[in-house]
Amino acid sequence: MELLYALLRHHARLGWWLAKHGREDLPRNRLLAWLMLKEGKALDQIKRLFNGAKFAPASLMDHEHALLVKLQGCTIDHPGMPEEVKLECPSWAADPLRRRFKEAFGNEMAALLTSAPLDLRVNPIKSTREAVLGALKDLGLRAEASAMAPYGIRVNERPSLASLPMLKTGEVEIQDEGSQLVAMLVGARPGERVVDFCAGAGGKTLAIAAQMNNKGHVVACDVMDGRLKRSAERFRRAGLHNIETRLLASETDRWIKRHKGGFDRVLVDAPCSGTGTWRRNPDARWRAPEEQGLDNLVSLQARILASAARLVKPGGRLVYATCSMLPAENEEQMAAFLARHPAFRAVPLLEAAPQLTNSAHSDYLSLTPARNDTDGFFAAVMQREATPPPSAS
């Protein structure tokens, strides 16, 4: 698996070298190039690996041998590579990310080529951060309290997940620190009614329900039945009983109209390009959002947000979040929503979560791998006014 992830993190550069020497972009050619350009193996070493013996790759063909001869003495990076290739940034995302990060573009893209850390979120229904830190120490693991998330723990090594008994008992969940902070921004309190509108596998739902101390009511919605069924098992393991799952036919399901204005908090963790998760999912940069197009994705986000907003009661809060770092999916999406929905106002981050002082944006939560050592996340808190505006005459 580590080799596969490494090849994905060098996808553009390996392709550039193969194109430079007129070779087909085939998995075997990529592996050969990797062994020489990144692992620094000599031609004779590679020939011994590819010897055609049982359980070994087939012997090198003449054109493969010729490719390796051309690559001798080279390394994975080359001065002639375009910046996007060297930084493994797909063309569809390069311009918006450059505009977003300006002079920090190179640093942010380099951070996305590193491996993501292992972050845990302690379930306060079942344990405490101090107790889990002690248990991890007893297992011989180096771990520390997260810098920002109040229930977060960062494990500074790569243990087998099967060796962590606290995962099986529901005392902890695997969750990036940035994702934990998004759930924290919801600010759900015991006894409230809350909707996680795009619940997916339920990670943020778990954090929200635990915030509420198992009191009140949380509805985890999604359009994928399989995700909801898997999340229900996680809820049971965590000892959380205040969660209901709700399968929606679409973002405009009739259930939404029936429950209009019925919830104190609504989280919209919208489907997005996933640019903030590239270090965790290195394959994502080469396939999303080309399946449906970024413009179509932004349009879908706007429809989901507008529909979910109907669920927020007067005085309640709506939280919009993505794991994207593209302005079109984040700040621009917020500006468009607020312009169309005057009943909502943006709640500045200092007001919503004064303890979060290291956001790249003063009004919204904006986290990046280089700046915060989290996945890239965006979250905006909006409040519906307590009384509706007067109708235009």
Catalytic residues: 323
CA distance 135 to 309: 42
Instruction: Collapse the DSSP code of 150 into the 3-class scheme (helix H, G, I; strand E, B; otherwise coil) and give the result.
Output: coil
Q: Where are the beta strands (DSSP E) in 243-352?
A: 243-247, 263-269, 312-322, 344-347
CA distance 26 to 98: 30
Reduced 3-state DSSP string for 322-373: ECCCCHHHCHHHHHHHHHHCCCEEEECHHHHCCCCCCCCCCCCEEECHHHHC
How would you class 26 by CB atoms within 10 Å of its CB: exposed for 0-12, middle for 13-18, buried for 19 or more?
A: exposed
Instruction: List the one residue out of 213, 364, 197 whose CA is nearest residue 205.
Output: 197
CA distance 279 to 268: 23
CA distance 356 to 374: 14
Determine contact, residues 222/228, Cβ cutoff 8 Å: yes
CA distance 116 to 277: 9
| Token representation of residue 23 | 């070779």
CA distance 347 to 364: 8
